Structure 1
Amino acid sequence: MEKTIDQILQQDQFTKNDIVRLLKSEGKDEKALFAKSSEIKLKYVGNNVYFRGLVEFSNICKKDCLYCGIRASNSKVNRYDIADAEIVKAAKFAHEHRYGSFILQSGERADKQFIGRIENLLKEIKKISNNELGITISLGEQTKETYQRWFNAGAHRYLLRIESSNKELYNKIHPNNKEHSHETRLECLKFLQEIGYQTGTGVMIGLPFQTYDDLANDLLFMQKIDIDMVGMGPFIEHDQTPMYQYKDQLMSLKDRFRLSLKMISVLRIMMKDINIASSTALQAIDPLGREKAIRIGANVIMPNITPTTERANYLLYQNKPCIDEGADDCTNCMEARINMADGEIGYGEWGDSKHYKNKHIK
């Protein structure tokens, strides 16, 4: 006899079939799932929500991922690279507003100049914040030596999204060459964990060709490699990318949104004390998307403090929200959103992954 959703939710471990059932849940079953994940979140990570001031400092990228608006071969993008002084100024803003943490994100590069520049920026941000600002970086695939240099310079969290744990699906959404290798992505995640980063990954939800089995396997993959933090959200197509040709095969934006919430919810139950980000892409579909994610499992939010003049040029997908707001607007907006979701802002705290800490206490 098939298990009920309530019976599945009482289990300590989920099978792939259990996860698929949860991801397909609707109505009262979906409500039961959200109630359970909300309860787990409060018990294991509390109702604190941690700010990560996000600076998308450059959209220059050597990669050519088939879904991404800033892919190297998109000639319609206005390329930019924010000056170091502006990045440091944004870090000062984050520190003065007691964000606790800062994220450096950009298109992917691995040249010597870029690697040295990041190292110097990390040291400077640590210096101007009296070592009080936690730093996450999301700068793609690099060598283990580069990751170590950046770790030594002050970065302690790294987000590298796997995009899909299914190699076949990964290959369908990336060019077929050595610059876009699933094995390299997996190896990089291993390097980050070996060095001692709080390591984060994530996937896009609602991709062309993606199945519920793929998504269930993605969650099991995150559990298996014992990830510390996750940033995942709905796939939103961009009309200047090759993947746009499949737009008519996609599930509706509303369904991608609901599925993303369920992915967050199920992962919170599976990995009770990790950090889960409430992604901006949720808000691109639903004005209250980020609050809904916080209510059912997310505990990290990333106010965008990129200088406003360049925000509109960092479009990985279309209809990205908040591209015309200044950093102050974004802060006030985020505070209101978190209050609406019954969260408490962890001002001045790094908000490190409890999962990471618990692993390293043992």
Structure 2
Amino acid sequence: MDSKLIETLDKLNTNHSLELEEYQLLIENINPDLMKRAAEYAVKYQEQFYGNKVFIRGLVEFTNYCKNDCYYCGIRRGNRECERYRLRTEDIISCAHEGYKLGFRTVVLQGGEDFAYSDEDICDIIRRIKAEHDDMVVTLSIGERDHDSYQAYFDAGADRYLLRHETANPELYTRLHPAEMSFLHRMNCLQDLKNIGYQVGAGFMVQSPGQTARDLAMDLKFIEEFKPDMCGIGPYISHKDTPFAKEESGTLEMTLFLISLLRMIYPQMLIPATTALGTIHPKGREMGIQAGANVVMPNLSPTSVRKMYTLYDNKICTGEEAAECINCLKGRVSFVGYEIVEDAGDRVGFYK
């Protein structure tokens, strides 16, 4: 392997930081030996801070209505083929309750940007989940809101907020989103969340349409500087009812390599092995864990609606019951030497 590549990777392992051009160099020269070395470094940090623990978050996809028209997304406003649904408050709370009984101590309430649920509705759901299970962490993933809304959810008891930045390059952001969406606003939202006191999750798509090695390097530099508590990445996967229907999907190899680099950049960070990884390869999530990831997010949504929440094509686990899904995952994770634990799974060193 090229000595310059080894030297650059070793520098990242020591300093947890590189220049933009150095990140780009690694990305442009990805190869099996470089991936193996990066994964070895990543796993050492994984073991240092988390042992062999893998944390579970129960995902409740409670609405697939969205006001946005992002060009890559299957639930975009303009997709007339998408069968829409909204879960009632009682159903959302029931999903969280069932998850708790299965051992989940974190619930992720995720949906499109659907303002049919008022701030009062969201706060009511948070309070009722917390009242029933005071040790359950509530995570929101409902997109861009104003500062006062974020503050209200936090005051109601929300602990974490996931908001993928999607790309750190403003020009690429513009190519992936309609004109009414703003890169600056997305970044301001992330900063608001951090300032309020949330545990914040950012993240980006890997090899989205038009994305370059330089763009991915910018994402790594952004994560290095912003230091989110969690970073979720997954390969771009096309959806048949979007303007990007014929674009190629991202690769397993690049996604795994970037997971390893993320672990080296910020060793304490929580990094999920995403459903998208499992969609492009039958053992994608296990391989993600072996590359440095330490979170999985099984679906707690009612099975009747899972097939409707299709951000991309061929999404896995759309028909399994939550109990079946978690038992299957426990076995698969155990097979590669890790253990799913009943723990809310805060980032090491995070104090609220």
TM-score (norm 1): 0.92
Q: State yes or no: 1:185 paired with 2:165.
A: no
**What does 1:82-161 align with in structure 2 at a 5 Å threshold?**
82-110=87-115, 113-129=117-133, 131-161=134-164
Report SS of the residue matched to 2:61.
strand
Deviation digits for residues 42-87 of structure 1 (CA, Å, limit 9, x no counterpart): 1133221111000001101111111100011111111000121111
Q: Which residue of 1 aligns with 2:285?
A: 290
Separation in 1, partners of 2:141, 2:45: 28
8 Å CA contact 1:303–1:331 kept in 2: the answer is yes
Structure 2 counterpart of 1:70, one-letter code? I
Q: Which residue of 1 aligns with 2:294?
A: 299
Separation in 2, partners of 1:164, 1:225: 13
Separation in 2, partners of 1:356, 1:259: 29
8 Å CA contact 1:123–1:154 kept in 2: the answer is yes
Separation in 1, partners of 2:39, 2:24: 15
8 Å CA contact 2:30–2:254 kept in 1: the answer is no
2:72 to 67, 70, 87: 67
The offset of 1:97, in angstroms, is 1.7
How many aligned residue pairs are there?
Answer: 346
Separation in 2, partners of 1:107, 1:218: 23
Between stretches 63-72 and 337-346, larger displacement belongs to: 337-346
Can you give the 5+ residue segments of structure 1 that lack an aligned partner in the other structure? none
Report SS of the residue matched to 1:17.
helix
8 Å CA contact 1:169–1:210 kept in 2: the answer is yes
Report SS of the residue matched to 2:251.
helix
The offset of 1:354, in angstroms, is 1.7
Q: Which residue of 1 aligns with 2:241?
A: 240
**What does 1:1-362 align with in structure 2 at a 5 Å threshold?**
3-11=3-11, 12=15, 13-23=17-27, 24-110=29-115, 113-129=117-133, 131-177=134-180, 180-245=181-246, 247=247, 250=248, 253=249, 256-347=251-342, 349-357=343-351
8 Å CA contact 2:83–2:308 kept in 1: the answer is yes
Separation in 1, partners of 2:349, 2:314: 34
Can you give the 5+ residue segments of structure 2 that lack an aligned partner in the other structure? none
8 Å CA contact 2:330–2:339 kept in 1: the answer is no
8 Å CA contact 2:63–2:114 kept in 1: the answer is no
8 Å CA contact 2:102–2:323 kept in 1: the answer is no
Between stretches 21-30 and 92-101, larger displacement belongs to: 21-30
The offset of 1:17, in angstroms, is 3.0
Separation in 2, partners of 1:135, 1:306: 15
The offset of 1:171, in angstroms, is 0.3
8 Å CA contact 1:19–1:266 kept in 2: the answer is no
The offset of 1:21, in angstroms, is 3.2
The offset of 1:22, in angstroms, is 2.9
8 Å CA contact 1:205–1:234 kept in 2: the answer is yes
Structure 2 counterpart of 1:237, one-letter code? S
8 Å CA contact 1:41–1:296 kept in 2: the answer is no
Report SS of the residue matched to 1:356.
coil
TM-score (norm 2): 0.95
Structure 2 counterpart of 1:9, one-letter code? L
Structure 1 counterpart of 2:30, one-letter code? S
Deviation digits for residues 5-61 of structure 1 (CA, Å, limit 9, x no counterpart): 332232213222332333332122221111111112111332211110000011011
Report SS of the residue matched to 1:72.
coil
8 Å CA contact 1:60–1:108 kept in 2: the answer is yes
The offset of 1:93, in angstroms, is 1.3
Structure 2 counterpart of 1:174, one-letter code? H
Report SS of the residue matched to 2:110.
strand
Separation in 2, partners of 1:33, 1:225: 22
Residue 341 and residue 114 in structure 1: after superposition, are their counterparts in 2 closer, same or farther (change >3 A)? farther
Q: Percent identity?
A: 37
8 Å CA contact 2:93–2:125 kept in 1: the answer is yes
Structure 1 runs of 4+ aligned residues shifted over 6 Å read none
Separation in 1, partners of 2:331, 2:99: 17
8 Å CA contact 1:232–1:277 kept in 2: the answer is yes
8 Å CA contact 1:51–1:301 kept in 2: the answer is yes
Residue 356 and residue 213 in structure 1: after superposition, are their counterparts in 2 closer, same or farther (change >3 A)? farther
8 Å CA contact 2:95–2:301 kept in 1: the answer is yes
Report SS of the residue matched to 1:202.
strand
Report SS of the residue matched to 2:178.
coil
Separation in 2, partners of 1:9, 1:72: 42
Separation in 2, partners of 1:296, 1:181: 33
The offset of 1:3, in angstroms, is 4.2
Structure 1 counterpart of 2:83, one-letter code? N
